[in-house]
Amino acid sequence: MIAAVTFAASFDGTWLTKVQGQDGNNMELTYVFKTDGDKFTGSMKTPNGDMPLSNAKIDGKNISFEMSFGDMKMKYTGTLKDDDTIALKMVDSPMGDMEMTLKRQK
């Protein structure tokens, strides 16, 4: 149990990634994660405000969560690779699967 809490705390903070937008240009996404024991919360910052995570779960070095944008629901799974890197994958999304690497903002 102590090991899980230690790993969970490693997700805390602000994480950045760049993804290719529908127009072909790169856009930066900012995720903010917070853990409290086995509880995991957070949001994605957007120009129109923060989008909160839902159904967020943490299991050691692994996270999963969902986000809703209008009628569209996006599901994510991720793994903490090291203290400053998360491999995140959007799955079962109407936009298709997408892999991204999140880097911790210092």
Q: What's the pLDDT score for residue 39?
A: 87
Each residue's pLDDT, cut to its tens digit, for the chain (106 residues) gives 444 444 444 899 999 999 877 788 888 899 999 998 888 999 999 877 899 999 999 998 999 999 998 888 899 999 999 999 999 999 887 777 889 999 999 8
Q: What is the per-residue pLDDT for 1? A: 44
Q: Under CATH, what is the fold of the domain 2-104?
A: Lipocalin (2.40.128)
Measured between alpha carbons, how far is 100 from 36 in angstroms, rounded to an integer? 25
Q: Would you state the pLDDT for residue 19?
A: 83
Per-residue confidence (pLDDT) for residue 58, from 0 to 100: 93
